[in-house]
Homo-oligomer: A and B are copies of this chain.
Amino acid sequence: MSKGVNLKELSQRLNLSQTTVSRALNGYPEVSAETRKRVAEMADKLGYAPNSQARRLATGRSMAIGHVIPRSIHEMMNPIFLEFIAGAGETYSQHGYDMIISVVEDDREEDAYRQIASRKKADGVIIHGPAQDEHRHLLLKELNLPFVVHGRIPGAEKETSWIDMNNRRAFERATNLLLDLGHTRIALLNGLENMDFARRRRRGFEDALSARNLTPDAALVRSADMTEPYGCDSAMEMLNSDNPPTAFLVSSMISAIGVARAIGQCGLKTGKDVSIITHDDALSFLPNSGEVPIFTCTRSSVRYAGEKAADLLLNMIATPGAKPTSLHLDAELILGQSTGPAPTR
Protein backbone atom coordinates (compact mmCIF):
# COMPACT_ATOMS: atom_id res chain seq x y z
CA MET A 1 0.00 0.00 0.00
CA SER A 2 2.63 2.52 -0.85
CA LYS A 3 5.75 2.94 -2.91
CA GLY A 4 4.35 1.89 -6.21
CA VAL A 5 5.87 -1.32 -7.44
CA ASN A 6 5.57 -2.30 -11.03
CA LEU A 7 4.72 -5.60 -12.60
CA LYS A 8 8.32 -6.63 -12.93
CA GLU A 9 9.15 -6.19 -9.27
CA LEU A 10 5.95 -7.82 -8.25
CA SER A 11 6.62 -10.87 -10.36
CA GLN A 12 10.16 -11.11 -9.03
CA ARG A 13 8.96 -11.07 -5.46
CA LEU A 14 6.66 -13.92 -6.36
CA ASN A 15 9.12 -15.88 -8.41
CA LEU A 16 6.67 -15.85 -11.24
CA SER A 17 6.77 -14.47 -14.72
CA GLN A 18 5.14 -11.18 -15.59
CA THR A 19 2.84 -13.12 -17.85
CA THR A 20 1.46 -15.19 -15.05
CA VAL A 21 1.07 -12.31 -12.69
CA SER A 22 -0.68 -10.23 -15.29
CA ARG A 23 -3.02 -13.07 -16.08
CA ALA A 24 -3.70 -13.83 -12.47
CA LEU A 25 -4.69 -10.26 -11.82
CA ASN A 26 -6.77 -9.89 -14.92
CA GLY A 27 -8.79 -13.02 -14.31
CA TYR A 28 -7.53 -15.20 -17.10
CA PRO A 29 -8.22 -18.92 -16.67
CA GLU A 30 -4.79 -20.39 -17.26
CA VAL A 31 -3.55 -19.85 -13.76
CA SER A 32 -4.19 -22.01 -10.72
CA ALA A 33 -6.47 -20.80 -7.98
CA GLU A 34 -3.69 -21.02 -5.48
CA THR A 35 -1.28 -18.98 -7.53
CA ARG A 36 -3.93 -16.43 -8.23
CA LYS A 37 -4.53 -16.00 -4.56
CA ARG A 38 -0.86 -15.73 -3.79
CA VAL A 39 -0.50 -13.10 -6.47
CA ALA A 40 -3.49 -11.13 -5.29
CA GLU A 41 -2.20 -11.06 -1.76
CA MET A 42 1.25 -9.94 -2.67
CA ALA A 43 -0.16 -7.38 -5.06
CA ASP A 44 -2.12 -5.63 -2.43
CA LYS A 45 0.56 -6.04 0.17
CA LEU A 46 2.90 -4.18 -2.13
CA GLY A 47 0.15 -1.87 -3.29
CA TYR A 48 0.58 -2.74 -6.89
CA ALA A 49 -1.59 -0.93 -9.39
CA PRO A 50 -0.95 -1.20 -13.10
CA ASN A 51 0.27 1.97 -14.74
CA SER A 52 -2.62 3.13 -16.82
CA GLN A 53 -0.57 4.59 -19.61
CA ALA A 54 1.27 1.35 -20.09
CA ARG A 55 -1.87 -0.64 -20.03
CA ARG A 56 -3.59 1.63 -22.46
CA LEU A 57 -0.66 1.46 -24.79
CA ALA A 58 -0.54 -2.28 -24.69
CA THR A 59 -4.23 -2.87 -25.09
CA GLY A 60 -4.79 -0.08 -27.56
CA ARG A 61 -7.82 1.13 -25.67
CA SER A 62 -7.62 4.39 -23.85
CA MET A 63 -10.37 3.58 -21.36
CA ALA A 64 -11.62 7.10 -21.46
CA ILE A 65 -14.59 8.95 -22.86
CA GLY A 66 -14.22 12.46 -24.19
CA HIS A 67 -16.53 15.42 -23.84
CA VAL A 68 -15.68 18.39 -25.99
CA ILE A 69 -17.08 21.65 -24.73
CA PRO A 70 -16.86 24.76 -26.80
CA ARG A 71 -15.84 27.61 -24.58
CA SER A 72 -18.75 29.61 -25.86
CA ILE A 73 -21.13 30.54 -23.11
CA HIS A 74 -23.97 28.84 -24.86
CA GLU A 75 -22.76 25.49 -23.82
CA MET A 76 -20.39 25.15 -20.94
CA MET A 77 -21.97 27.48 -18.54
CA ASN A 78 -25.00 25.35 -18.79
CA PRO A 79 -25.84 23.76 -15.46
CA ILE A 80 -27.73 21.15 -17.41
CA PHE A 81 -24.50 20.05 -18.89
CA LEU A 82 -23.03 19.71 -15.43
CA GLU A 83 -25.80 17.49 -14.24
CA PHE A 84 -25.50 15.33 -17.33
CA ILE A 85 -21.80 14.99 -16.76
CA ALA A 86 -22.40 13.94 -13.19
CA GLY A 87 -24.61 11.12 -14.33
CA ALA A 88 -22.30 9.98 -17.07
CA GLY A 89 -19.30 10.22 -14.80
CA GLU A 90 -20.82 7.80 -12.38
CA THR A 91 -21.34 5.21 -15.05
CA TYR A 92 -17.84 5.69 -16.32
CA SER A 93 -16.16 5.13 -13.03
CA GLN A 94 -18.25 2.07 -12.38
CA HIS A 95 -16.79 0.59 -15.53
CA GLY A 96 -13.25 1.75 -15.02
CA TYR A 97 -13.44 4.49 -17.60
CA ASP A 98 -12.10 7.98 -17.21
CA MET A 99 -13.93 11.06 -18.29
CA ILE A 100 -11.89 13.64 -20.06
CA ILE A 101 -13.27 17.06 -20.73
CA SER A 102 -11.83 19.46 -23.26
CA VAL A 103 -12.82 23.08 -23.07
CA VAL A 104 -11.92 24.58 -26.43
CA GLU A 105 -12.39 27.73 -28.42
CA ASP A 106 -15.48 27.47 -30.55
CA ASP A 107 -13.58 27.31 -33.79
CA ARG A 108 -11.33 24.54 -32.61
CA GLU A 109 -14.00 22.06 -31.81
CA GLU A 110 -13.41 19.97 -34.90
CA ASP A 111 -9.76 20.00 -34.16
CA ALA A 112 -10.42 18.67 -30.71
CA TYR A 113 -12.29 15.70 -32.10
CA ARG A 114 -9.57 15.00 -34.60
CA GLN A 115 -7.00 15.01 -31.85
CA ILE A 116 -8.99 12.67 -29.73
CA ALA A 117 -9.16 10.28 -32.62
CA SER A 118 -5.65 10.53 -33.95
CA ARG A 119 -3.85 10.60 -30.63
CA LYS A 120 -6.15 7.99 -29.25
CA LYS A 121 -7.15 10.05 -26.29
CA ALA A 122 -10.56 8.51 -25.87
CA ASP A 123 -12.45 5.46 -27.06
CA GLY A 124 -15.60 7.42 -27.69
CA VAL A 125 -17.26 10.76 -27.21
CA ILE A 126 -20.60 12.27 -26.42
CA ILE A 127 -22.13 14.94 -28.57
CA HIS A 128 -23.79 17.64 -26.54
CA GLY A 129 -26.49 19.99 -27.66
CA PRO A 130 -27.07 18.99 -31.27
CA ALA A 131 -28.05 21.97 -33.37
CA GLN A 132 -30.13 22.38 -36.43
CA ASP A 133 -27.25 22.32 -38.84
CA GLU A 134 -25.38 19.60 -37.05
CA HIS A 135 -22.26 18.13 -38.60
CA ARG A 136 -20.23 16.67 -35.78
CA HIS A 137 -21.63 13.21 -36.34
CA LEU A 138 -20.27 13.17 -39.88
CA LEU A 139 -16.83 14.05 -38.69
CA LEU A 140 -16.94 11.39 -36.01
CA LYS A 141 -18.04 8.76 -38.48
CA GLU A 142 -15.19 9.71 -40.72
CA LEU A 143 -12.85 9.49 -37.76
CA ASN A 144 -14.35 6.17 -36.83
CA LEU A 145 -14.89 7.34 -33.29
CA PRO A 146 -17.90 5.83 -31.49
CA PHE A 147 -20.31 8.40 -30.15
CA VAL A 148 -23.68 8.92 -28.56
CA VAL A 149 -25.75 12.03 -29.00
CA HIS A 150 -27.47 13.70 -26.09
CA GLY A 151 -30.49 14.86 -28.03
CA ARG A 152 -31.19 14.06 -31.63
CA ILE A 153 -29.67 15.08 -34.89
CA PRO A 154 -32.41 15.99 -37.29
CA GLY A 155 -32.27 13.71 -40.28
CA ALA A 156 -29.83 11.28 -38.72
CA GLU A 157 -32.05 9.65 -36.13
CA LYS A 158 -31.76 6.18 -37.66
CA GLU A 159 -28.05 6.12 -38.20
CA THR A 160 -26.84 7.44 -34.87
CA SER A 161 -27.13 6.34 -31.27
CA TRP A 162 -28.82 8.88 -29.09
CA ILE A 163 -30.72 9.49 -25.93
CA ASP A 164 -33.31 12.16 -25.77
CA MET A 165 -36.44 13.08 -23.98
CA ASN A 166 -39.66 13.52 -25.85
CA ASN A 167 -39.53 17.27 -26.07
CA ARG A 168 -42.36 17.65 -28.49
CA ARG A 169 -44.72 15.52 -26.50
CA ALA A 170 -43.80 17.14 -23.19
CA PHE A 171 -44.56 20.60 -24.48
CA GLU A 172 -47.67 19.44 -26.21
CA ARG A 173 -49.00 18.02 -22.99
CA ALA A 174 -48.02 21.09 -21.03
CA THR A 175 -49.77 23.29 -23.55
CA ASN A 176 -52.85 21.11 -23.41
CA LEU A 177 -52.94 21.42 -19.67
CA LEU A 178 -52.97 25.17 -19.97
CA LEU A 179 -55.63 25.05 -22.64
CA ASP A 180 -57.73 22.79 -20.47
CA LEU A 181 -57.45 25.36 -17.74
CA GLY A 182 -58.94 27.86 -20.11
CA HIS A 183 -55.83 29.75 -21.10
CA THR A 184 -55.74 30.88 -24.66
CA ARG A 185 -53.07 33.51 -24.60
CA ILE A 186 -50.05 31.42 -23.83
CA ALA A 187 -46.50 32.69 -24.12
CA LEU A 188 -43.59 30.46 -25.01
CA LEU A 189 -40.17 31.32 -23.66
CA ASN A 190 -38.06 28.85 -25.51
CA GLY A 191 -34.38 28.07 -25.54
CA LEU A 192 -32.23 29.01 -28.51
CA GLU A 193 -34.05 27.69 -31.52
CA ASN A 194 -31.01 26.69 -33.45
CA MET A 195 -30.90 23.86 -30.94
CA ASP A 196 -32.80 20.78 -31.90
CA PHE A 197 -34.52 20.37 -28.55
CA ALA A 198 -35.95 23.88 -28.72
CA ARG A 199 -37.42 23.29 -32.15
CA ARG A 200 -39.17 20.20 -30.94
CA ARG A 201 -40.58 22.00 -27.97
CA ARG A 202 -41.93 24.72 -30.13
CA ARG A 203 -43.49 22.13 -32.40
CA GLY A 204 -45.24 20.53 -29.45
CA PHE A 205 -46.52 23.90 -28.40
CA GLU A 206 -47.81 24.72 -31.87
CA ASP A 207 -49.32 21.31 -32.42
CA ALA A 208 -51.35 21.58 -29.27
CA LEU A 209 -52.57 25.02 -30.21
CA SER A 210 -53.54 24.15 -33.75
CA ALA A 211 -55.34 21.04 -32.56
CA ARG A 212 -57.75 23.48 -31.01
CA ASN A 213 -57.71 25.82 -33.94
CA LEU A 214 -55.52 28.39 -32.25
CA THR A 215 -52.47 29.99 -33.73
CA PRO A 216 -49.52 31.18 -31.70
CA ASP A 217 -49.13 34.90 -31.37
CA ALA A 218 -45.66 35.81 -32.54
CA ALA A 219 -45.52 38.51 -29.90
CA LEU A 220 -45.73 35.82 -27.25
CA VAL A 221 -42.99 33.58 -28.53
CA ARG A 222 -39.35 34.12 -27.76
CA SER A 223 -36.15 32.21 -27.98
CA ALA A 224 -32.87 32.85 -26.21
CA ASP A 225 -30.31 31.54 -23.80
CA MET A 226 -32.13 30.36 -20.74
CA THR A 227 -31.05 32.82 -18.10
CA GLU A 228 -32.99 34.31 -15.28
CA PRO A 229 -33.12 37.86 -16.66
CA TYR A 230 -34.32 36.50 -19.99
CA GLY A 231 -37.36 35.12 -18.21
CA CYS A 232 -37.95 38.23 -16.17
CA ASP A 233 -37.49 40.80 -18.90
CA SER A 234 -39.55 38.90 -21.44
CA ALA A 235 -42.38 38.34 -19.04
CA MET A 236 -42.29 41.93 -17.91
CA GLU A 237 -42.66 43.26 -21.41
CA MET A 238 -45.40 40.87 -22.32
CA LEU A 239 -47.35 41.46 -19.15
CA ASN A 240 -47.19 45.18 -19.71
CA SER A 241 -48.39 44.91 -23.28
CA ASP A 242 -51.89 45.63 -24.47
CA ASN A 243 -52.86 42.06 -24.76
CA PRO A 244 -50.90 40.18 -22.12
CA PRO A 245 -50.66 36.43 -21.83
CA THR A 246 -52.32 34.59 -18.97
CA ALA A 247 -49.85 31.77 -19.00
CA PHE A 248 -46.20 31.10 -19.70
CA LEU A 249 -44.60 27.97 -20.99
CA VAL A 250 -40.93 28.17 -20.16
CA SER A 251 -38.04 26.03 -21.27
CA SER A 252 -36.05 26.07 -18.07
CA MET A 253 -36.50 26.49 -14.35
CA ILE A 254 -34.01 29.28 -14.26
CA SER A 255 -35.94 31.39 -16.69
CA ALA A 256 -39.17 30.37 -15.00
CA ILE A 257 -37.86 31.85 -11.81
CA GLY A 258 -37.32 35.05 -13.71
CA VAL A 259 -40.87 34.93 -14.99
CA ALA A 260 -42.16 34.49 -11.47
CA ARG A 261 -40.15 37.48 -10.41
CA ALA A 262 -41.67 39.56 -13.16
CA ILE A 263 -45.14 38.45 -12.19
CA GLY A 264 -44.48 39.46 -8.63
CA GLN A 265 -43.12 42.82 -9.69
CA CYS A 266 -46.30 43.46 -11.65
CA GLY A 267 -48.25 42.92 -8.48
CA LEU A 268 -49.77 39.72 -9.80
CA LYS A 269 -49.86 36.29 -8.28
CA THR A 270 -48.30 33.26 -9.89
CA GLY A 271 -50.72 30.36 -10.21
CA LYS A 272 -53.67 32.67 -9.82
CA ASP A 273 -53.40 35.66 -12.09
CA VAL A 274 -50.77 34.16 -14.31
CA SER A 275 -49.81 30.52 -14.76
CA ILE A 276 -46.40 29.08 -15.45
CA ILE A 277 -45.36 25.68 -16.66
CA THR A 278 -41.68 25.08 -16.96
CA HIS A 279 -39.51 22.26 -18.01
CA ASP A 280 -37.62 20.90 -15.04
CA ASP A 281 -34.37 19.07 -15.70
CA ALA A 282 -34.28 17.98 -12.08
CA LEU A 283 -31.12 19.92 -11.36
CA SER A 284 -29.98 19.16 -7.89
CA PHE A 285 -29.42 22.74 -6.87
CA LEU A 286 -32.83 23.80 -8.09
CA PRO A 287 -35.13 21.37 -6.37
CA ASN A 288 -38.75 21.68 -7.37
CA SER A 289 -40.09 18.95 -5.21
CA GLY A 290 -42.19 18.81 -2.07
CA GLU A 291 -45.81 17.83 -1.62
CA VAL A 292 -46.91 20.35 -4.18
CA PRO A 293 -43.91 21.61 -6.16
CA ILE A 294 -43.51 25.32 -6.67
CA PHE A 295 -43.70 25.02 -10.41
CA THR A 296 -46.00 22.92 -12.48
CA CYS A 297 -43.57 21.29 -14.82
CA THR A 298 -42.58 18.66 -17.28
CA ARG A 299 -39.82 16.82 -15.57
CA SER A 300 -37.07 14.62 -16.87
CA SER A 301 -33.85 13.93 -15.05
CA VAL A 302 -30.92 14.96 -17.14
CA ARG A 303 -28.66 13.22 -14.71
CA TYR A 304 -30.37 9.97 -15.51
CA ALA A 305 -29.96 10.75 -19.18
CA GLY A 306 -26.25 11.10 -18.56
CA GLU A 307 -26.05 7.70 -16.94
CA LYS A 308 -27.90 6.09 -19.78
CA ALA A 309 -25.94 7.85 -22.47
CA ALA A 310 -22.78 6.52 -20.92
CA ASP A 311 -24.23 3.03 -20.83
CA LEU A 312 -25.09 3.23 -24.46
CA LEU A 313 -21.67 4.45 -25.41
CA LEU A 314 -19.80 1.86 -23.40
CA ASN A 315 -21.91 -0.82 -25.02
CA MET A 316 -21.10 0.47 -28.45
CA ILE A 317 -17.44 0.37 -27.62
CA ALA A 318 -17.70 -3.15 -26.27
CA THR A 319 -19.55 -4.46 -29.33
CA PRO A 320 -18.19 -2.57 -32.29
CA GLY A 321 -20.33 -3.74 -35.16
CA ALA A 322 -23.63 -3.28 -33.36
CA LYS A 323 -26.50 -1.29 -34.78
CA PRO A 324 -27.20 2.16 -33.44
CA THR A 325 -29.56 2.18 -30.52
CA SER A 326 -31.44 4.96 -28.89
CA LEU A 327 -33.45 5.80 -25.86
CA HIS A 328 -36.47 7.99 -25.84
CA LEU A 329 -37.43 9.22 -22.41
CA ASP A 330 -40.80 10.60 -21.53
CA ALA A 331 -41.09 13.57 -19.25
CA GLU A 332 -43.53 13.50 -16.39
CA LEU A 333 -46.12 16.20 -16.23
CA ILE A 334 -46.24 17.34 -12.64
CA LEU A 335 -48.80 19.62 -11.10
CA GLY A 336 -47.43 22.32 -8.89
CA GLN A 337 -48.48 25.64 -7.47
CA SER A 338 -47.81 27.73 -10.53
CA THR A 339 -50.90 26.86 -12.55
CA GLY A 340 -54.55 27.61 -12.14
CA PRO A 341 -57.60 28.31 -14.21
CA ALA A 342 -57.42 31.23 -16.57
CA PRO A 343 -58.67 34.35 -14.85
CA THR A 344 -62.01 35.56 -16.10
CA ARG A 345 -62.14 39.20 -16.81
Contact = CB atoms under 8 A, between A and B. Distances in A.
Interface residues on A, range: 35 or more
Give the secondary structure class of A's interface. mixed
Interface stretch (A7-15, A26-34, A101-109, A164-172): A101-109
Contacts of A22: none
Contacts of A85: 101, 103
Indicate how many identical chains form the complex. 2
Contacts of A284: 73, 76-77
A119 B54 CA distance: 9
Nearest to A79: B79
A285 B98 contact: no
Contacts of A92: 103
B77 A119 contact: no
Interface in A295-343: none
Interface in A55-80: 56-57, 62, 64, 69, 71, 73, 76-79
Most buried by B among A54, A98, A102, A117: A98
Interface string A272-305: 0000000000011111001000100000000000
Nearest to A230: B287
Given A77-B283, A257-B228, A49 B93 contact: no
5 contacts: A4-B117, A53-B62, A76-B82, A93-B103, A229-B290
A86 B103 contact: yes
Given A56-B53, A254-B285, A294 B229 contact: yes
A103 B92 CA distance: 8
Given A103-B86, A264-B261, A51 B228 contact: no
A50 interface: yes
B89 A49 contact: no
Given A86-B77, A227-B285, A229-B294, A93 B100 contact: no
Given A47-B118, A82-B77, A285-B226, A100 B103 contact: no
A210 to B, nearest CB: 32
A52 B86 contact: no
Contacts of A73: 284
Contacts of A47: 118
A120 interface: yes
